[in-house]
């Protein structure tokens, strides 16, 4: 099934700092929900292992993340693919960073994904909710990176 | 016709099997526990089509408790492909995907472990590297030469494309005053037994034998397993005493049994695999026909239907199997119960990247009946004629039997008008009409549904040679064996599995009737395949006719021997003796009892007639009555018996909510002489419930990406006690001239006409709005959306 997510998050930092953190594997590993490992496999390319447990949907996933069309600090494309026992998924997100007048920055994402396997069929009703929950979790952890500084 | 009176047959007797099932003492496959048994979990493909580049099992193999991981490459090299009914040798199927996956959910590899839980955990450690490929889901698209072939080696997606013309179709169309055409679609659904498929296999290397316990309903099961595993036929022993928790056609289990048999032999330990519900719904043998019909009918102004052109396009899913033959069985009743002079039939079966289609109750007859009955409703609507009167005009008359239909089958007997009259009386038709109009006055959408249809029975599968000319099979036999022990008690062996059809009741009732002894005193055993006579398993509504027939014929042989022994003992010609209640009576009043015969046959060889063998045993191997010829010129006689059913239903729904509620359901059923009334009623009731599911709820629906969206009971909706109303079953008996007691088949009854009747009722309810529902299931969302669109 297809999964589309669009949203914007404001973070109290400059576009440049936000950009740097979004492309920093260490930050990403801390922020991506259930991320167990993230290894660089090439420029802007990472192998990733996830252990996700959200309500009825849970399992291990192996995947890759690839950043492309990098335009610091304005944005990039992120391609994600992964698979596990419960299913496979691929997705592309366009990420745009916009400077706000109040010295914060907006991060805008438009993601389109396709999910297959057990999660697609059994999880169809909860899948969008789960995806939104995971995105929220990602940003709330990411925000904490800047609170600490 | 006057019904012959029987002592046990047709009498209200409790089915023999009830006792152990009600007490929870059935012997199901999950009850089979072998020492050192290992368990299996299969890994399913996420993709509808992909090339498998690599399967990394290393991490899974290192887990505690994991014994082995079997891949498609391994099993593809070790065993023969599963049997393919069609002449499509390059459409090969193995228990696991070999190199390429062809539907989402297909099994890619199988973990063998000390427990099912460990096996499932190990699935998570297997890494599949696969490259997704283009795929096709829709049958019309699959038919296009440009569609991606599911089996590239085969070259296209077409499995079967046969055009039959029976009679002067063009002529009849030219002569008829009117014609009309329409399309209807039968959605992909199933039978969903409570018990999923399961199998236990054990290899004994010292005896060189594979024991198989399975929840199965599959013709020639042990032969198929042996052929796939390169074993002699007598090295596979399928145990027939395993109770089956429902099948209705789908418990085929051949890919499971070959996989588990292979593993059992490889590892030398007993292996169990019982599908969980998701495995069953996605990749078990769950999916039934998915069929699109284009129908054109020619008719006169008085409603007489002269000719029909039917194109049936079936979506077989990823492999051939036996499923395409489900386009063949309906040929045996292609005109339904009607006098239609000529028919053309274009049968097409295509592969797609969906789960493989398997046999489902009626073997394709229910979809075809739905198309024929829709044609009747459409003609009536075109002519503004009463739907019932139109059917009554076209029905075959009782004095026209035996009735040869254009496609070559001869209907044995029937009195369709009488059954309909009984139903109209029982349902109080004028009141039913008044109730419909009253509901309409109250603002409800109310409709009456009508369906008349046939159940071809006796299981002669002559559609095999008809659709595949390299297949020369005309034999469809069944066997029974009986033995009287030294104490005089009768034991009968039946040589197949039973999936709730009550074969023990059937055989004991028939034997009791012929031998005039109490059926409850007769022991029925179900040995294994190596201790059995040949048979074709309980498919095609055949067992009352075939197993009942073989039992009766065995009993007649035994009875003849009892009379011969008595004649010799009493010194009287056998012709002068009469048989009564197990004893043989002489005209002079002397009586040679059952026990006298037992004494002589078992212990006094010196007192037996000269040349007679000792003991009291008999067996019979019976061919299907009337099944004695291969097809000629695209025509063949298929089934010996044709049961009739007539459905009359009133339903109503709120125009905004659109949820149909059945207010009244009456069915008339004529399956000739009924052996056990409780069993036949149960089958009919269950069949109608099944049909309600097919008509309103059940569908294996796919999203555009080839993912199955309805794989659990959350999404695959089944009729429950809320949806299944009380059903009035009206019985009628027109005996068949071809069977021992006049019995016909009833195993598929109810299901064959109820989807057509419910569709007819819903379409009647919305007729004033000029809405037509042309696809089953008709979900409540479709109803409310269609009405909302009209009102907007």
B708-739 pLDDT tens trace: 999 889 899 999 999 999 999 999 999 999 99
- Is residue A1 less than 8 Å (CB to CB) from chain B? yes
Q: How far apart are CA B549 and CA B379, in angstroms?
A: 41
Q: How far apart are CA A8 and CA A100, in angstroms?
A: 12
Which of A84, A114, A120 is closest, CB to CB, to B124? A84
For B229-274, the pLDDT digits (tens) are 999 999 999 999 999 999 999 999 999 999 999 999 999 999 999 9
Sign of CA dihedral B203, B206, B208, B213: negative
Residue A91 belongs to a domain with what CATH number? Answer: 3.30.530.20
Question: Is residue A90 reached through a cis peptide bond, with omega within 30 degrees of 0 on the bond before it?
Answer: no
pLDDT of residue B459: 78
- Is residue A141 less than 8 Å (CB to CB) from chain B? no
Reported confidence tier of residue B380, pLDDT bands at 50, 70, 90: very high
Mean pLDDT throughout B631-659? 97
B705 CB neighbours in chain A (<8 A) are 1-2, 114, 116, 120
Mean pLDDT throughout B143-168? 97
Which of A59, A85, A121 is closest, CB to CB, to B708? A121
Q: Which domain holds residue A69?
A: 2-148
B38-44 and B271-274 strand pairing: parallel
Measure A84 CA to nearest chain B CA, in Å: 7
Which site among A112, A121, A125, A126 would you substitute to test the B interface, given the most B Cβ atoms closer than 10 Å to its Cβ? A121
Q: How far apart are CA A32 and CA A50, in angstroms?
A: 9
pLDDT of residue B1: 43
Reported confidence tier of residue B426, pLDDT bands at 50, 70, 90: very high
Which of B46, B703, B710 is closest, CB to CB, to A117? B46
Reported confidence tier of residue A56, pLDDT bands at 50, 70, 90: low
pLDDT of residue A57: 62
pLDDT of residue B60: 97
Task: Return the CATH architecture of domain B18-25+477-623.
Answer: 2-Layer Sandwich (3.30)
pLDDT of residue A60: 82
A121 CB neighbours in chain B (<8 A) are 282, 707-712, 715
How many CA atoms are closer than 13 Å to the CA of B423, on its beta-carbon side? Answer: 27
Q: How far apart are CA B96 and CA B71, in angstroms?
A: 7
For B54-65, the pLDDT digits (tens) are 999 999 999 999
Mean pLDDT throughout B388-416? 98
Measure B151 CA to nearest chain A CA, in Å: 22
Q: Name which of A82-86, B110-114, B332-336, B630-634 the model is least confident about.
A: A82-86
Please give the helix or strand (H or E) that residue B265 lies within, else none: helix B254-267
Interface of A with B in 106-125 (CB under 8 A): 114-118, 120-122, 124-125
pLDDT of residue A117: 85
For B524-535, the pLDDT digits (tens) are 999 999 999 999
Residues A116, B43: C-beta atoms closer than 8 Å: no
Residue B397 three-state SS: coil
Q: Is the ipTM of this complex over 0.90?
A: no
Mean pLDDT throughout B620-630? 94
Q: How far apart are CA B150 and CA B48, in angstroms?
A: 10
Task: Return the CATH architecture of domain B291-462+634-791.
Answer: 2-Layer Sandwich (3.30)
pLDDT of residue B2: 45
B119 CB neighbours in chain A (<8 A) are none
pLDDT of residue B407: 97
Measured from the Cβ of residue B46, the count of other Cβ atoms closer than 10 Å reads 29
Residues B123, A85: C-beta atoms closer than 8 Å: yes
Residues B703, A1: C-beta atoms closer than 8 Å: yes
The residue that leads in pLDDT, A86 or B331, is B331
Q: How far apart are CA B197 and CA B138, in angstroms?
A: 28
A1 CB neighbours in chain B (<8 A) are 703, 705, 707, 709
Nearest to B598 by CA among B521, B516, B513, B490: B490
A85 CB neighbours in chain B (<8 A) are 43, 123-124
Q: Based on the structure, what is the number of domains in chain A?
A: 1
Helices (H), A3-149: 15-22, 25-31, 118-122, 124-148
For B166-223, the pLDDT digits (tens) are 999 999 999 999 999 999 999 999 989 999 999 999 999 999 999 999 999 999 999 9
B44 CB neighbours in chain A (<8 A) are 117-118
Nearest chain B residue (CA) to A118: B46
Asked whether residue B4 carries a pLDDT value surpassing 80, the answer given is no
Domains B18-25+477-623 and B291-462+634-791 equal at CATH topology level: yes
B467-492 burial code (b ≥16 CB/10 A, e <16): bbeebeebebbbbbbbbbeeebebeb
Contact B764, B447 (CB under 8 A): yes
Find the helix packing angle between B543-570 and B503-515, rounded to 10°.
30
- Is residue A103 less than 8 Å (CB to CB) from chain B? no
Mean of pLDDT over chain B: 96
Helices (H), B650-779: 677-692, 754-765
* CB-based burial label for B573 (10 Å; 0-12, 13-18, 19+): exposed
B127 CB neighbours in chain A (<8 A) are 62
B104 CB neighbours in chain A (<8 A) are 116-117
pLDDT of residue B641: 97
| Assigned CATH topology for domain B32-133+212-269 | Aldehyde Oxidoreductase; domain 3 (3.90.1170)
pLDDT of residue B195: 96
Instruction: Measure the N-to-C terminal CA separation of chain B; round to a whole number of Å.
Output: 56
The residue that leads in pLDDT, B599 or A146, is B599
Contact B593, B579 (CB under 8 A): no
Q: Which of B419-433, B536-550, B705-719 is most confident?
A: B419-433
- Is residue A87 less than 8 Å (CB to CB) from chain B? yes
Mean pLDDT throughout B598-608? 98
Asked whether residue B3 carries a pLDDT value surpassing 60, the answer given is no
pLDDT of residue A71: 93
Measure A62 CA to nearest chain B CA, in Å: 9
Contact B771, B702 (CB under 8 A): no
Domain boundaries, chain B: 18-25+477-623, 32-133+212-269, 291-462+634-791
Interface of A with B in 17-76 (CB under 8 A): 59-60, 62
Q: Which residues of B touch A (CB under 8 A)?
A: 43-44, 46-48, 104, 123-124, 127-128, 278, 282, 703, 705-712, 714-715
Mean of pLDDT over chain A: 87
């Amino acid at each position: 099934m297809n999964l589309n997510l669009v949203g914007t998050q404001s973070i109290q930092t400059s576009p440049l700092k936000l950009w740097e953190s979004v492309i920093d594997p260490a930050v990403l590993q801390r922020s991506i929900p259930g991320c167990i490992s993230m290894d660089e496999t090439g420029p802007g390319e990472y192998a990733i292992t996830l252990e996700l447990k959200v309500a009825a949907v849970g399992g291990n996933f192996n995947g890759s993340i690839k950043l492309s069309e990098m335009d610091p600090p304005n944005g990039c494309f992120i391609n994600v693919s992964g698979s596990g026992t419960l299913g496979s998924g691929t997705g592309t997100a366009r990420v745009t960073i916009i400077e706000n007048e109040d010295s914060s920055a907006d991060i805008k994402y438009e993601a389109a994904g396709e999910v297959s396997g057990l999660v697609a069929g059994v999880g169809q009703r909860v899948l969008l909710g789960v995806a939104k929950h995971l995105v929220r979790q990602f940003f709330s952890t990411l925000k904490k990176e800047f609170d600490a500084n | 016709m006057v019904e012959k009176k029987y002592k046990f047959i047709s009498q209200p007797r409790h089915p023999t099997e009830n006792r152990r099932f009600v007490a929870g003492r059935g012997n199901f496959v999950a009850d089979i526990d072998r020492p050192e048994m290992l368990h299996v979990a299969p890994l399913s493909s996420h993709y509808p089509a992909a090339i498998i580049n690599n399967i990394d099992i290393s991490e899974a193999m290192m887990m505690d408790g994991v014994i082995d991981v079997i891949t498609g490459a391994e099993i593809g090299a070790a065993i023969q492909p599963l049997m393919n009914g069609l002449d499509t040798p390059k459409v090969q199927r193995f228990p696991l995907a070999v190199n390429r996956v062809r539907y989402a959910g297909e099994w890619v590899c199988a973990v063998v472990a000390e427990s099912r839980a460990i096996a499932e955990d190990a699935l998570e450690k297997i890494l599949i590297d696969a490259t997704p490929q283009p795929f096709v889901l829709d049958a019309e698209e699959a038919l296009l030469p440009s569609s991606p072939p599911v089996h590239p080696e085969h070259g296209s997606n077409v499995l079967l494309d046969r055009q039959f013309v029976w009679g002067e179709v063009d002529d009849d169309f030219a002569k008829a005053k009117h014609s009309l055409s329409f399309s209807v679609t039968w959605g992909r659904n199933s039978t969903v037994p409570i018990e999923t498929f399961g199998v236990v296999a054990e290899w004994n290397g010292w005896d060189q034998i594979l024991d198989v316990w399975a929840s199965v309903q599959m013709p020639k099961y042990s032969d198929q397993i042996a052929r796939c595993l390169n074993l002699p036929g007598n090295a596979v022993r399928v145990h027939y005493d395993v109770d089956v928790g429902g099948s209705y056609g789908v418990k085929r289990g051949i890919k499971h049994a070959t996989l588990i048999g292979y593993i059992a032999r490889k590892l030398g330990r007993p292996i169990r695999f019982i599908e969980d519900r998701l495995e069953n719904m996605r990749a078990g043998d769950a999916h039934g026909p998915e069929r699109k019909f284009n129908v054109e009918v020619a008719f006169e102004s008085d409603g007489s239907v002269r000719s029909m052109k039917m194109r049936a396009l079936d979506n077989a899913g990823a492999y051939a199997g036996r499923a395409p033959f489900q386009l063949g069985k309906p040929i045996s009743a292609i005109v339904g119960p009607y006098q239609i002079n000529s028919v053309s039939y274009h049968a097409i079966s295509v592969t797609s990247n969906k789960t493989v289609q398997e046999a489902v109750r009626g073997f394709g007859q229910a979809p075809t009946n739905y198309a024929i009955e829709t044609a009747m409703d459409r003609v009536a609507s075109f002519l503004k004629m009463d739907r019932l009167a139109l059917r009554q005009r076209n029905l075959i008359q009782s004095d026209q039997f035996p009735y040869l239909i254009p496609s070559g089958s001869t209907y044995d007997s029937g009195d369709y008008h009488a059954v309909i009259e009984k139903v109209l009386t029982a349902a109080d038709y004028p009141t039913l009409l008044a109730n419909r109009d009253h509901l309409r006055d109250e603002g409800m959408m109310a409709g009456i549904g009508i369906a008349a249809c046939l159940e071809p029975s006796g299981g002669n599968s002559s559609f095999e040679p008809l659709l595949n000319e390299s297949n020369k099979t005309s034999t469809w036999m069944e066997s029974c064996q009986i033995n009287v022990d030294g104490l005089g008690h009768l034991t009968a062996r039946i040589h197949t599995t039973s999936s709730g059809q009550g074969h023990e009741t059937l055989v004991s009732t028939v034997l009791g009737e012929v031998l005039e002894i109490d059926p409850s005193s007769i022991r029925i055993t179900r040995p294994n395949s190596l201790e059995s006579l040949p048979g074709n398993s309980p498919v095609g509504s055949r067992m009352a006719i075939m197993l009942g027939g073989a039992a009766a014929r065995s009993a007649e042989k035994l009875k003849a021997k009892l009379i011969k022994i008595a004649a010799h003992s009493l010194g009287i010609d056998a012709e002068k003796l009469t048989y009564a209640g197990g004893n043989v009576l002489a005209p002079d009043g002397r009586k040679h009892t059952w026990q006298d015969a037992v004494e002589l046959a078992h212990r006094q060889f010196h007192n037996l007639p000269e040349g007679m063998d000792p003991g009291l045993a008999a067996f019979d191997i019976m061919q299907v009555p009337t099944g004695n010829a291969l097809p000629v010129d695209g025509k063949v006689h298929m089934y010996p018996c044709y049961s009739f059913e007539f459905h009359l239903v009133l339903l109503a729904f709120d125009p905004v909510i659109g949820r149909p509620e059945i207010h009244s359901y009456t069915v008339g059923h004529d399956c000739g002489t009924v052996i056990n009334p409780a069993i036949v009623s149960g089958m009919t009731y269950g069949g109608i419930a099944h049909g309600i599911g097919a008509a309103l709820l059940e569908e294996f629906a796919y999203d555009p990406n080839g993912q199955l969206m309805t794989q659990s009971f959350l999404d695959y909706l089944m009729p429950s006690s809320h949806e299944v109303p009380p059903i009035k079953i009206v019985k009628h008996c027109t005996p068949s001239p071809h069977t021992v007691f006049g019995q016909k088949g009833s195993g598929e009854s109810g299901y064959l006409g109820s989807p057509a009747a419910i569709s007819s009722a819903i379409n009647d309810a919305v007729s004033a709005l000029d809405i037509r529902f042309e696809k089953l299931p008709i979900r409540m969302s479709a109803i409310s959306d269609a009405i909302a669109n009209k009102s907007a």
